[in-house]
């Protein structure tokens, strides 16, 4: 069996085939990042070995098209975190850096840890759509936060008493923005006021876009995995993170593999007679953030969770250790929910037909014709 490491770029991809048993390089090649290059890569790999697996550096923006082409061709694809490639390259005897060296490092990182420890890539268009919209919303929220900070600095000079009364998050509500706009209108027409009003209009536009995206995400998740929204602490945004960053629960063989991906699997840190575990700082930090949000919410509102944490602390765990156990339990629970078959996609509604324009009707002549004189024919 061979492992084919792929170092992805915008215009080209570097390939390196490594033997799984020995780590010996079996061959290398560079292809263009287009359909012809993807086809050439599959043909080249099939000539090397019948038993093969592809290890692609997890850079979705530049590796997405290649992953789709390989999976469509029936190939098995693994996603390798970039940090593993960096650690593998540091351990190599060959100094320097190139695309081929990086491709070999990616393949050997998989060989070192074992092929079965990496989740296979899985394409789910509906989950990808949810992730794209959620990421776009996060970008808009970050942009809005920057504008809000600039606006508060302007208000500090224009009307400091108003700025002092603004609570955290108050500039994210349209009603508060309308009130603030009325206050700025009465503040004059100076340059600072004009800049503040322009920033306020930008915040208002971003807020409408953010709210519209959240409503759209709610509709998509309800039609895809509605059971996630029924879980306490799992709202629309948390469910979107779980769906988008899991990228198909089918690619995880067991719930333990999913726990490792979420960074909730316990890591042993024992020494001598002391046996203990610590939190995992690896894995997908967004997935870990989603599970942490659910854990915090349940620890405040769910009596069963409160009793569970108290029992774990009574057993000798610290508060952090009790939360680690809770997050590991949540990883098991949500892996099962994500692994359930999604609801079938609703067919797209047909476009409304444009009614044909009827031929213009002739106006009705209501006038009474004059009497025709009678003609006698003899």
- Residue 47's CB: how many other CB atoms inside 10 A? 9
**pLDDT tens readout for residues 302-332:** 999 999 999 999 998 889 889 999 999 999 9
**Least trusted range by pLDDT, from 92-101, 138-147, 321-330:** 92-101
**pLDDT tens readout for residues 237-272:** 999 999 999 888 888 888 998 998 899 988 887 777
Of 207, 209, 208, 198, give the one whose Cα is nearest residue 151: 198
- Where b means 16+ CB within 10 Å and e means fewer, 136-155 reads ebbebbeebeebbeebeebb
State both tokens at 312: 């774990």
Q: Say how many residues make up the chain.
A: 378
Rounded mean pLDDT of the chain? 85
Cα(139)–Cα(103) distance, integer angstroms: 31
Look at the alpha carbons of 7, 94, 18, 3 in this order and tell me if their dihedral is positive or negative: negative
**pLDDT tens readout for residues 77-93:** 988 877 766 555 555 55
Helix (H), strand (E) at residue 183: helix 174-185
State both tokens at 119: 């989740």
**pLDDT tens readout for residues 16-53:** 999 988 888 999 999 999 999 999 999 999 998 889 99
pTM: 0.77
2, 150, 334 from 232: Cα distances, Å: 45, 36, 12
């Amino acid at each position: 069996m061979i492992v084919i490491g792929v170092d992805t770029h915008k215009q080209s991809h570097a390939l390196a085939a490594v033997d799984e048993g020995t780590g010996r390089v079996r061959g290398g090649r560079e292809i263009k990042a287009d359909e012809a290059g993807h086809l050439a890569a599959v043909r080249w790999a099939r000539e090397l070995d019948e038993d093969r697996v592809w290890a692609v550096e997890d850079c979705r923006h530049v590796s997405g098209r290649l992953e789709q082409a390989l999976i469509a061709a029936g190939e098995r694809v693994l996603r390798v975190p970039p940090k593993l490639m960096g650690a593998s390259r540091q351990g190599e005897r060959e100094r320097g850096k190139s695309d081929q060296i990086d491709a070999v490092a990616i393949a050997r990182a998989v060989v070192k840890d074992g092929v079965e420890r990496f989740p296979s890539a899985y394409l789910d268009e509906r989950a990808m759509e949810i992730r794209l919209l959620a990421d776009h919303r996060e970008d808009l929220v970050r942009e809005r936060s920057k504008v809000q900070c600039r606006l508060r600095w302007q208000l500090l000079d224009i009307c400091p008493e108003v700025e002092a009364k603004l609570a955290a998050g108050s500039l994210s509500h349209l009603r508060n923005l309308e009130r603030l706009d009325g206050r700025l209108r009465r503040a004059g027409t100076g340059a600072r006021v004009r800049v503040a009003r322009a920033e306020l209009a930008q915040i208002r536009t971003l807020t409408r876009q953010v709210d519209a995206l959240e409503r759209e995400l709610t509709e998509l998740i309800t039609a895809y995995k509605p059971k996630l929204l029924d879980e306490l602490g799992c709202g629309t945004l948390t469910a979107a993170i779980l769906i988008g960053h899991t990228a198909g629960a089918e690619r995880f063989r067991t719930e333990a593999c999913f726990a490792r991906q979420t960074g909730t699997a316990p890591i042993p840190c024992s020494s001598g007679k002391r046996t203990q575990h610590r939190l995992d700082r690896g894995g997908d930090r967004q997935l870990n953030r989603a599970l942490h949000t659910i854990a915090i919410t349940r620890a405040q509102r769910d009596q069963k969770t409160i009793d569970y944490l108290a029992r774990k602390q009574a057993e000798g765990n610290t508060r952090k250790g009790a939360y680690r156990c809770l997050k590991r339990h949540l990883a098991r629970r949500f892996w099962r929910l994500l692994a359930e078959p999604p609801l079938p996609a609703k067919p797209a509604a047909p476009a409304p037909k444009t009614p044909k324009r009827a031929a213009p009707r002739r106006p009705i002549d209501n006038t009474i014709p004059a009497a025709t004189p009678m003609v006698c024919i003899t």
